Structure 1
Amino acid sequence: MKILVFGATGSQQFHVISEAQKKGADIFAATSSEKSLEKLKQAGATPVLGDMSKAEKMMEITKGMDAVALLIPVSLANPLDGLQYAKNVIDASKKNGVKKIVWNASGWLTPEKIGIPGEDVKLDIRDHLQNSGVDFVIIEPTIYMENMMGPFCAPFVINEKKLAYPTPEAMPIGWIASRDVSAFVVEAIYNPDLKADTFQISGMDNLKGNDLAKQFSLGLGEEVSYYPMPAKEFGEMLKPFVGEAGAAGVASYYEGLQNSTEYPLKYNTNMEGILEKLPVNMTSVESWVKANKSAFVG
């Protein structure tokens, strides 16, 4: 099977390459930067240059593909451009006879638009995918464990023994490892029974802030406390990575959480049922921290 992967240079989709290799797939990884070609090649993929904003280029690189593992960049200057990026890939896939698209939506989709461009555009992408005529699966992960390796978190662990994140301590989250999400993407590609399906996935443990810090402490072998980072502080740290508009939207979202007493669900109680359709060996927070200890000890 030939699989074209988008977003493989980043942590969200990088492991799709190795997970698909386990199935014997022939993997092609798209990138808009020549600087990423060697990284993708070393990972075992055939790198292909392709800017998602160019419809004709998407027509070219989707030819001959059996499946597409789709991810829309989260760092676009205008998040609403993500819809056109998605359309270019989806429409090209349809015309070229791609059998299935599996979209990693980079989070649980909201029931309706909430005024955050990066989140609202995902609903438009979903609608276009559903109406495309291509078999599809949407994988909606909760919050990535890899987020805790970011500059707004890891330095606090190293320097202050604090696990910093902008969610209230009382808010439980089913944190999930990016490798697990990639495994779900690959399993969805290979499951012929899935043709118009959506899965909200999470980790197996629903952890409040102090519980998360406890698992972190077990993984590191030293005591770490939870620090609910103020939303504005988080937004400032995020600007260099997602731009001012993107950071403002994310900060606004977390500020709303911090001022609330009712929190959105970030844990799927039916993960066992999902794992029957998409068999994945799930990663616990403690084991993930142990595997990535070097990122948190300086």
Structure 2
Amino acid sequence: MSYVIHGATGAQGAPVAAALAAVGAPVTALTRNAGAVVAGARVRAVDLRATDTLADAYRGADGVFVHLPLGGPEDRLRHAHNVVAALNAARPGRVVFSTSGGTPVEFADPAVTAVIDGLRRSGLSHAVIAPRLFLENLLLPPVVTGAREQGVLRYPLPDGYPVSWVSHLDVADAVVALLGRPDVTGLIEVGLRPAVTGPELAEAFAARLGHAVTYEALTPAAFGDLLAPLLGTDAAAGVAGLYDFLGTFPDNAIAPERSAQAVLGLHPRTPLQWLTDAVG
């Protein structure tokens, strides 16, 4: 079985490529950098603006893992249409697409919706993974430094707001499982059940760091200000806007009936397990 992995040097693709390579599967790692090195994989540089190049990369693959890179709305939508066109041309055996988290899939941006709709129309064997918020967001320097040095975990969600947090490692586990399960189709949500609140996250940090950590709810605007030096003003404003939007819901929890727990028998890492695996 051979697999093609988008973004194989990035946060989502790298653990998928590593997991497949670890069991000896032939892996083609798609990147924008021809000089990239991915252990156990063949690296192939692709341009999401070039449908023919994408189709060549997909052709003959038993499975393809797709997620869209960050970018402006017009670029993302163009990339989405190109990916769908290339998949239709190449007809790989199986496709797993990640929405890359944030909102419930019903409120996904047009690019994500375009890929989902395109896969439905394609007739290809496929599944869509829909995470919510990634635990790795908590490793952003303004967040993790506060927990480590000041004993305060600051994040732009209310104290009692439950989230089905998930790590990139858990998404990778689900992707690998779905690549080998053509009988499972449609939408699968990956994340913690029951959902976890900010103070519960702080408890996990306290257990891992060995000192007291409390949770402090920030406004989305204040969080954007913290991120601006790291991400740039426009990107930070976009993050703040996401959390403004999420604040209009009572929670950001996955649906039990379409969870990875129910569909695949996979149980995501707890925050403490994740901190141990990811941070050491």
Structure 2 length normalisation: TM-score?
A: 0.89
1:168-183 matches, within 5 Å, as 168-183=158-173
Question: 2:179 is matched with which residue?
Answer: 189
Q: CA deviation at 1:256?
A: 4.3
Q: Aligned in 2, Cα 1:270/1:25: closer, same or farther, shift over 3 Å? A: same
SS in 2 for 1:34: coil
Q: CA deviation at 1:86?
A: 2.2
- 1:45 partner amino acid: A
Question: 2:130 is matched with which residue?
Answer: 140
Question: 2:201 is matched with which residue?
Answer: 212
- 1:137 partner amino acid: A
Which consecutive residues of structure 1, in runs of 5 or more, have no partner in the other structure?
Answer: 114-118
| Counterpart check, 1:16 vs 2:16 | yes
1:48-87 matches, within 5 Å, as 48-74=44-70, 76=71, 78-87=72-81
Could you tell me the percent identity over the aligned residues?
26
| Counterpart check, 1:274 vs 2:260 | yes
**What are the Cα deviations for residues 169-219 of structure 1, in whole angstroms up to 9, with x where unaligned?**
12011211211111101111100212x411122123422111211122112
Q: Distance in 1 between matches of 2:230 and 2:65?
A: 23
Q: CA deviation at 1:235?
A: 2.2
Question: 1:163 is matched with which residue?
Answer: 153
Q: Distance in 1 between matches of 2:81 and 2:229?
A: 27
Question: 1:99 is matched with which residue?
Answer: 93
SS in 2 for 1:153: helix
Cα pair 2:80 2:114 within 8 Å, conserved: no
Please point out which of 252, 263, 287 is paired with 2:273. Answer: 287
Q: Distance in 2 between matches of 1:44 and 1:239?
A: 36
Question: 1:26 is matched with which residue?
Answer: 26
- 1:266 partner amino acid: A
Cα pair 1:175 1:205 within 8 Å, conserved: no
- 2:274 partner amino acid: W
Q: CA deviation at 1:243?
A: 5.7
- 1:60 partner amino acid: D
Structure 1 length normalisation: TM-score?
A: 0.84
- 2:40 partner amino acid: G
Q: CA deviation at 1:58?
A: 0.8
**What are the Cα deviations for residues 207-237 of structure 1, in whole angstroms up to 9, with x where unaligned?**
2111211122112222111122221232244
Question: 1:124 is matched with which residue?
Answer: 114
Q: CA deviation at 1:15?
A: 0.7
SS in 2 for 1:152: helix
Q: Distance in 2 between matches of 1:51 and 1:265?
A: 34
Question: 1:116 is matched with which residue?
Answer: none
| Counterpart check, 1:226 vs 2:209 | no
Q: Aligned in 2, Cα 1:13/1:251: closer, same or farther, shift over 3 Å? A: same
Q: Aligned in 2, Cα 1:246/1:136: closer, same or farther, shift over 3 Å? A: farther
Q: CA deviation at 1:245?
A: 4.2
Question: 1:152 is matched with which residue?
Answer: 142
Q: Aligned in 2, Cα 1:94/1:124: closer, same or farther, shift over 3 Å? A: closer
- 1:84 partner amino acid: R
Q: CA deviation at 1:257?
A: 4.4
SS in 2 for 1:124: helix
Please point out which of 88, 98, 105 is paired with 2:82. Answer: 88
Cα pair 2:62 2:92 within 8 Å, conserved: yes
Q: Aligned in 2, Cα 1:268/1:15: closer, same or farther, shift over 3 Å? A: same
Q: Distance in 2 between matches of 1:8 and 1:240?
A: 27
SS in 1 for 2:141: coil
**What are the Cα deviations for residues 122-146 of structure 1, in whole angstroms up to 9, with x where unaligned?**
2233222222222210000121111
Q: Aligned in 2, Cα 1:242/1:94: closer, same or farther, shift over 3 Å? A: farther
Q: How many residues align?
A: 279
- 2:256 partner amino acid: T
Q: Distance in 1 between matches of 2:19 and 2:264?
A: 13
Cα pair 2:167 2:269 within 8 Å, conserved: yes
Please identify, of 245-254 and 281-290, the stretch whose mean Cα deviation from structure 2 is larger.
245-254
Q: Distance in 1 between matches of 2:241 and 2:172?
A: 29
